[in-house]
Amino acid sequence: MAIKTIALQDSRVQLLKARGTDIRIRSSEALPNSVFDLKRSLEKRGFFVHFAADPKEARQIVTRIAREHKVRKAAKSKSMASEEISLNSALESEGVQVIETDLGEFIVQLAREKPAHILAPAINKKASDVAQLFVETKIANPEEIDPLQPDKQRLTAIARRHLRSVFLDAEMGITGVNFAAAKEGVLVGISNEGNLRMCVSIPPIHVAIVPIEKIVPSLADVATLLPLVTATATGQLLTSYVSLIAGPRNEGEIDGPVESHVVLLDNGRSRLAGTRYEAVLRCVRCGACLNACPVYTSIGGHAYGTTYMGPIGAVLATLIEHEGPSQLPYASSLCGACTEICPVSIPLHEMLYELRADPRHGHQGMALRAIFSGWSMIWDSSLEFRISQSLGARLIAIAAKAGLGKIETEGPGGSSQLVLSNNALGRALKKALRRSEIPMPAPPPTPRIPPPRQLENLRAPAAHQLSASRGNHANESRERMSIDTPEIASYPLSKSPNSTNNNREEVLIETFISNVARNGAEVQHIPSAALPERLGPLLEDIRVATIDPATLNAPYGHSIASLLEFHGIACVEGEARKVASAEIGLATPLLGVASTGSLLFDFAKGRPRLTSLLPPVLVAIVPASSVVCSLNEAFSRLENVGLLSGAALVSGPSKTADIEMTLVTGVHGPGQLWVFVLN
């Protein structure tokens, strides 16, 4: 059930983690004032801003918007906040068909189940389960799929085919967000499949559900948090798509939402600000604590019975979900693995311990209290502990002699366990215990106290230490590659007496090309004059293309137009269905980002969203002069030219691993990305 994450051990990553923790501490301390700051900034950009104190108010707001616009079909991106408020059922009661468009969420919705993981909702499903589900729900024809050995790429293609029509027909797009920049009034959402970009770009109405803890001070803080979250969640430099949502389309734009709404969700979060549980508001929903937790990885997400699962769910659900299970804080070994892996240093195991003792949240019955009290008394001394261990071993030996099972040992010196028999009594005991093996009590390990220096390393940095650390680095030269990503290139991008501007530019381009390739794109570094020759083979057998005006107006635009005419390729633009018919898209991004290998597209008049999103193949043409060092620098440039209605970072082709954790490309966005870097 484990998802790949990057271990936060490298000193540079630890510095990034400290900076990210500092940002999230300042973000949670700024509540609730930051809510009003964000509201003002959003309204200046043309958003309609709504505040929901609880799930009921949030549902009423969204259903009212749907009713006013006579919405009958809504395309929805993965959003844990929408799960928290039970939005789908509320909209369906109003006659609105809500379709989940994240592949994992789509599978779960077809199965009428809840997500099993924050990042991989269908992690509990096998490919054969998905194939059977697609056939039963008539998403696929039986002859399309081998139910015994289904091809995961084929299953993904079938889902893409079905959901493409959903995007094109939907009157409303619903998304969550990962961050909301209060200063700029910009929402930031990340995805690998491209469905979030689809939900924002195609339907005429866009609604974003934003829990108030997602607010951060500025886009500069987002530039630090994005690579940290991505590395911890999936091990990438950056997700395939980062959407910067800055309002509805402006006059003269041919795509994007006509109307944009933001629902700021509280649901008990403001009550946590300033309390001992405030740290839970730092959570960035990376899912790392789920992957590290021995309890979650043993029982899965559905056992929690709440929207949020794992260690973060056991804390957050207990604090905000009043009807959730009251015993979640006890479903933990308190091993501290969740705290250790957390990229923003949330002391989850400490809060779980505190919740057990908190009379407002601990709801132990009399019997359970007696059991734990007795257990505590028995294990209070080493003598009583050894007696209880000896007694447990004798009881298991008696059970084996009575025919309940047999004791098996794993190798010399290995652990022993009682394997229950398949007789009536054994089956009854299995059912009661939900397992077929009972571990033999082992002698207690000899305690090892780490030296003082190691103890200091185990503690999370204090807030004032983090602030000091951040301040020490605030004056670093802008010429130097900032720590935007745990995969920091080792290239010496800072100027030195022995380096020249030319050397630095060469290293910058080399870093960019290396990271573009690492993201799964095909990349070529060529002279501008060679572009028609290299582009020609990609245009063979192409009949319909879409090209953005920025590319046609570039110095190389005339040669591309001639090449398209030579191949007899028709060009389409404008309406989404026309662009969706294109077999290839040609676009020129505003910037390339070396540290993450990303392409930054800005959306405005003459710079459409859909060219880089709908075709199955995307060709991006990047002048070497437009490559910058870091995300922070890219966002700064973006501010200078004006965000207008939005932007998107593209880092590789559309991809997913929602079916058996197998990576496949071409989900909703382009399955192939070609990048030509021009001298």
Question: What's 219-250 look like in SS3?
Answer: HHHHHHHHHHHHHHHHCCCCCCEEEEECCCCC
Q: How far apart are CA 370 and CA 218, in angstroms?
A: 51
Q: How far apart are CA 163 and CA 550, in angstroms?
A: 29
Q: Would you state the pLDDT for residue 461?
A: 34
The region of weakest confidence among 60-64, 131-135, 354-358, 415-419 is: 415-419
By three-state DSSP, how is residue 211 classified?
A: strand
Cα separation of the two ends of the chain: 45
**CA–CA distance from 208 to each of 226, 354, 444, 459 (Å)?**
19, 33, 52, 37
The region of weakest confidence among 392-396, 536-540, 617-621 is: 392-396
Category of 336 on φ-ψ map: left (φ > 0), alpha (ψ -120 to 50) or beta:
left
Residue-wise pLDDT for 163-186, tens only, equals 999 999 999 999 999 999 999 999
Q: Would you state the pLDDT for residue 576?
A: 95
* Strand pairing class (97-100; 73-76): parallel
Cβ atoms 216, 181 nearer than 8 A = yes
Nearest to 102 by CA among 130, 83, 122: 122
Q: Would you state the pLDDT for residue 331?
A: 85
Nearest to 670 by CA among 584, 542, 571: 584
* Strand pairing class (544-547; 437-439): unpaired
Residue-wise pLDDT for 41-84, tens only, equals 999 999 999 999 999 999 999 999 999 999 999 999 999 999 99
Q: How far is CA 388 from the centre of its chain?
A: 45
Cβ atoms 543, 583 nearer than 8 A = yes
By three-state DSSP, how is residue 589 classified?
A: coil
On whether the pTM is more than 0.75, the answer is yes
**CA–CA distance from 641 to each of 612, 637, 647 (Å)?**
20, 7, 12
User: What share of the chain in percent tops pLDDT 90?
Assistant: 68
Q: How far apart are CA 515 and CA 597, in angstroms?
A: 4
The average pLDDT across 198-223 equals 97
Measured N-to-C along each axis, helices 531-539 and 557-566 cross at an angle, to the nearest 10 degrees, of 30
State which amino acid sits at residue 279: A
Q: Which helix (H) or strand (E) holds 646?
A: strand 646-650
> Structure tokens of 490?
């080792």
- Mean pLDDT (the chain, rounded): 85
**Residue 429 pLDDT exceeds 60:** no
Q: How far apart are CA 29 and CA 278, in angstroms?
A: 8
The region of weakest confidence among 90-99, 435-444, 466-475 is: 466-475
Q: How far apart are CA 449 and CA 290, in angstroms?
A: 27
**Residue 188 pLDDT exceeds 60:** yes
Q: How far apart are CA 225 and CA 23, in angstroms?
A: 8
State which amino acid sits at residue 18: A
**Residue 644 pLDDT exceeds 60:** yes
Q: How far apart are CA 658 and CA 651, in angstroms?
A: 19
Q: In what order do the strands lie in the sheet with 48-52?
A: 48-52, 259-265, 205-211, 172-176, 73-76, 97-100
Kindly compute the dihedral angle of the four CA atoms of residues 98, 100, 101, 105, in this order, to the nearest 10 degrees: 180
Task: Tell me: cis bond preceding 450? Omega within 30 of 0 counts.
Answer: no
* Strand pairing class (591-593; 598-603): antiparallel
Q: How far apart are CA 464 and CA 470, in angstroms?
A: 10
H runs (alpha helix) in 333-481 = 337-341, 348-357, 366-378, 382-401, 424-433, 452-458, 463-473
- pLDDT-derived band at 376 (thresholds 50, 70, 90) equals low
* Strand pairing class (437-439; 664-665): unpaired
Q: Would you state the pLDDT for residue 401?
A: 72
> Structure tokens of 431?
């059912």
Q: How far apart are CA 268 and CA 368, in angstroms?
A: 28
Q: Would you state the pLDDT for residue 453?
A: 34
Cβ atoms 176, 78 nearer than 8 A = yes
∠ CA 276-282-284, rounded to 5°? 150
Nearest to 105 by CA among 147, 154, 180, 159: 159
